[in-house]
Amino acid sequence: MSTLEIRNLHVSVETDGEGPREILRGVNLTVRKGETHAIMGPNGSGKSTLSYAIAGHPKYTVTEGSITLDGADVLAMGVDTRARAGIFLAMQYPVEVPGVSVSNFLRTSATAVRGEAPKLRLWVKEVKETMGFLEMDQAFAERGVNEGFSGGEKKRHEILQMMLLKPKIAILDETDSGLDVDALRVVSAGINAVRETGETGTLLITHYTRILRYVQPEFVHVMAGGKIVDEGGSELAATLEESGYDKYVKVGAGA
């Protein structure tokens, strides 16, 4: 039973010349395997900070609170250890790794996460099938990681990694941003395929409700001013679609 528990999480970021600035101000959240949570909120509410803090980006400092995965202290783990423990972050802006091919990268990553090199024949088949599912050209595997990728290709590549690494907890940071309808459909199908295994807890971070028509969350959390300010079921997303974030922004500003 995989459970990610976030308790009273406070996170600061180092700013240029202005010292640390607190972004998260006491976030509480529990994600169990098989569940899908959406975190929504206006720009600057702290959504991306939450995802980076869980993954362990060095720019973000946890000043208070805890994150545990099945009781293990995630904050005590390095970035790579967290990934091997089963935490996956699909990046909003994946970076280029020039000269390193997608196939080499995927295999190195799978070897690290699974603890042993996957059997070559099975691996090749698995990658091929997953790329097929995501409607990706096979030639893609020989390109440099994210080198010259379009926005849609980058996001498909992130979902490809998620499908191959089979994480316990998958965090999708604005995976829907910058996607046309076709790409959104394919990427959502990938996310749903992972959800349907029932083995992964999914945390969907998004500004817009558009992706929630394809990937339906059981839980919706609204973030503003570095806190979760409202929670509900999928009906909350529908309300947000109509009324927007205005009332929460005021709450956040007063916090």
Partner 1 sequence: MAVIDATGRPPAAAAPAAPVRSRDPEAHPVPTGREEAWRFTPLRPLKPLIAGQEPDGKIDISVAAPEGVEVEFVDADDPRVGRVLTPVDRVAAFATVRAGGAVAVTVPGETELTEPIVAALRGEGGVCYSHLVVEVGPFARATVVLDHTGTAKYAGNVEVHVGHGASVTFVSLQDWDDDAVHAGAHAFSVGRDAKLRATHLTLGGHLVRINPTVDYRGPGGDAELAGLFFTDAGQHQEHRLLVTHLERNCRSRVTYKGALQGADAHSVWIGDVLIGADAVGTDTYEINRNLVLTDGARADSVPNLEILTGEVAGAGHASATGRFDDEVLFYLMARGIPAGEARRLVVRGFFGEVLDRIDVPALRDRVMAAVDAELSAVGA
Structural tokens at position 52? 């980076």
Spell out the residues 6+ positions from residue 86 whose beta carbon is closer than 8 angstroms to its own.
2, 69, 167, 168, 169
Minimum CB–partner distance for residue 159 and partner 1 (Å): 13
Task: Choose which of 40, 113, 205, 222 interacts with partner 1 (CB under 8 A).
Answer: 113
Q: Given candidates 130, 161, 175, 202, which one binds partner 1 under the rule CB under 8 A?
A: 161
Q: Shortest gap between Cβ of 65 and partner 1 (angstroms)?
A: 21
The tokens 């009324």 sit on which residue?
A: 243
Number of residues near partner 1 (by CB under 8 A): 29
How many whole angstroms separate alpha carbon 56 and alpha carbon 195?
24
Q: Shortest Cβ distance from residue 98 to partner 1 (Å)?
A: 6
Residues 50 to 109 in contact with partner 1, rule: CB under 8 A:
55-58, 78-80, 82-84, 88-89, 91, 94-100, 104-105, 108-109
Residues 6+ apart with CB under 8 A from 177: 92, 206, 207, 208
The single residue among 13, 62, 75, 112 that binds partner 1, judged by CB under 8 A, is 112
User: At its nearest, how many Å lie between partner 1 and the CB of residue 95?
Assistant: 5
Nearer to partner 1, 112 or 193 (CB): 112
Q: Does 202 bind partner 1 (CB under 8 A)?
A: no
Beta bridge partners of 62: 11
CB of 160 to partner 1, least distance (A): 12
Residues engaged in binding partner 1 (CB under 8 A)? 55-58, 78-80, 82-84, 88-89, 91, 94-100, 104-105, 108-109, 112-113, 144, 161, 165
